[in-house]
Chains A and B, each alone.
Chain A
Amino acid sequence: MSGTVITLGPQQLALEEPMYFSVEVDGEIVVGLDVLAGHVHRGMEHLVMKRNFYQNITLLERLCSLCSNSHPSTFCTAVEELAGIRIPARAEYLRAIADEIKRISSHLFNCAIIAHIIGQGTLFKRVMEVREIMQDTKESIYGNRMDLAANCIGGVRYDLTPESAVYLGKQMERIKGPLEELYRIYATDHAIRTRTEGLGVLPNRDAINYAVVGPVARASGIDYDVRRKSPYWAYDRLRFQVAVEQAGDVRARAMVRLREAREAVSLIEQCLVDLPPGPLCSDTLPEIPAGETIAKSEAPRGELIYYLNTDGTDMPVRLKWRVPSYMNWDALQVMLKGQRVADIPLIVNSIDPCISCTDR
């Protein structure tokens, strides 16, 4: 073993965020790696204790912008649990809609990056253009292309008017064809297959040992999705398939995401059909008693867990979370071992890592 160590940064890894890797190589082959984290550490655990529950809704939406709806909605669920609030049925559907819209956007962004790394510039732009359908949707319904500001304690603070529901339905119709087309390209295109098949394999047993979550787990044959295992909001009334693949490679992870994007469209359509009338929010300014609780949801990158501890004041005593990306980083050890150095960016991006929630 030669044991040369090289450092790779965001530029070499095609990451949007600053994350550094110290990689031990033997010639062209990876033999070990260390993740050098912390660059996006903004002291979130400290900040949430200095902000009240309301401020935290907005702050947590900025924990990570790609999963930005999952954070405030899961946080609000935890607060509601403590306050004994049941959110109105309409809000349960509206929260699911917001989460699924974000899921499609997030998954498409990752697919675009994968195309970019493979050197498929045209496909990269095509995926980004398809994603714009979702960006327009978010902008028109929520008022921002990334941060929806959809949640408040006790429910949601946006509504779908009859017109905006029709618009959302039309946007879903619009994106179906392109999503099918992208699925077909990623599944069958020869150039993509040769670059992604058998690459960065995470065998099922390792996936279990490393406790990976989200599309990374499901691509390694683990049938785990919080929406199915412990349904929240409207998910117990919605029909959907949990996308599971067996190969555990870069390709399988991309396929899981594209299948989930298609499922998300179906989920949104079901919500639009079933959307019950009624209020959006149960209690505007509830008392939050002392206590502790856990809330979880299936964010685009996997299981997101919130732990909240309160003392009866309007600020959390402690707020901790286990973010999905955090679980998945370690499994890169398995995926990268024995792979070529040139394939590192592709494999790293195949876990769709989010640095801002890892470092918080």
Chain B
Amino acid sequence: METRPVINPIPPVRLYRINAGSCNGCDVELAATAAVASFDVERLGCCYSESPAEADIVLITGPLTLRVKDKVLRLHGEVPKPKVTVAVGVCPISGGVFRDSYAVAGPADDYLPVDVNVPGCPPHPRAILAGIAKAAALWRELSGCGQTLPEPAVPGSYDEDAAAPLGLRGKMRFNAAACVGCRMCEHVCAGGAIRIDELGPGLRFTLWHNSCVFCGLCSHYCPTKALTVTDQWQLSHFQEDKFSLTEQGFIPFVACTGCGHIMLPATPELLRVSYRKTNPEIERLKTLCPECRQKQSLGGIRR
């Protein structure tokens, strides 16, 4: 047996993992938090436990398939109170790309109390660590051994301000001023994270980060690049913020200068993509609805 000098008198917070039908992406990343020095959960004063009865925090991955549901609930039930539950990856949070399948029972919080969510698909190990750090702090508070959280061995290894790894695909950003309302993003999004609906005087754009899998496909197909991928990957949050983690925008309709019919504005980005450079004629035509534009052009030829 390996023996180690006891540096820290505080007993570690014990983590128990449950795979609720994941694609294994999150689980492989969790394995990294057990095996790779720079992501080691031990620096948070945590350790993995093989038995639910000897655990404090539950980490759930996967969308909670019907087939595993009862097993998962039983294992979760075996973890003694006060337990803290962390949903790792968008699967247990919203169903992710597997949402509305006949075989999926989740989201997990329909069946068990979830305390912390870690969006991502899969989330970066450092994002998972940030979620575990939140959960550990909460558990210490609930169990009455608070205030003694050990300092992480390497400061910044999980904190919110840590520099983003080079080129990481983080949450999406929406620029309403560039959106032409073509709905391509909504069409290509596998997670159903984007919704565009007509709301009185314009279009309302909503993107739920807890459904998004950070694939960047919406940005790829967006003709005006109104959607862009940012490097913000640190999104772990407490359950009460689950539904407020969104990106929103509003695209107001404008009135056609010819007939007054309401329409979507032609954004500068669209004109750049279509014509590269604009001229006074294009600038004038862009304020007209398609019908008036057609009339004008036809008239122009006749004259």
Contacts and interface: CB of A to CB of B under 8 A. Distances in A.
Contacts of B180: none
A77 interface: no
Contacts of A149: 169, 215-217
B24 A65 contact: yes
Interface residues of B, number: 53
B134 to A, nearest CB: 21
Contacts of B221: 54, 284
B101 A143 contact: no
Interface in B155-184: 165-169
Contacts of A59: 97-98, 190
Given A42-B21, A42-B103, A125-B35, A58 B97 contact: yes
B101 A46 contact: yes
Interface string B61-104: 01101111001000000000000000000000000111011111
A129 B101 contact: no
Contacts of B110: none
B208 to A, nearest CB: 15
Interface in A129-152: 129, 132, 135-136, 139-147, 149, 152
Nearest to A281: B220
A112 interface: yes
A42 B62 CA distance: 10
Given A47-B98, A144-B169, A356 B22 contact: yes
Contacts of A136: 165
A147 B90 CA distance: 14
Contact of B101 (A43, A141, A144): A43
A356 B23 contact: yes
B269 interface: no
Contact of A129 (B28, B36, B63, B68): B36
Given A41-B65, A42-B65, A65-B122, A139 B102 contact: no
Interface in A1-25: 10-11, 16-18
Contacts of A43: 98, 101-104
A354 B122 CA distance: 17
B190 A56 contact: yes
B22 A147 contact: no
A335 to B, nearest CB: 22
A124 interface: yes
Given A146-B122, A152-B220, A140 B167 contact: yes
Contacts of B214: 143-144
Contacts of A321: none
Interface of A: 10-11, 16-18, 38-44, 46-47, 50-52, 54-59, 61-66, 68, 109, 112, 124-125, 128-129, 132, 135-136, 139-147, 149, 152, 157, 284, 354-356
Interface of B: 19, 21-25, 27-29, 31-32, 35-38, 50, 62-63, 65-68, 71, 96-98, 100-104, 121-122, 124-125, 165-169, 187-191, 213-217, 220-221, 229
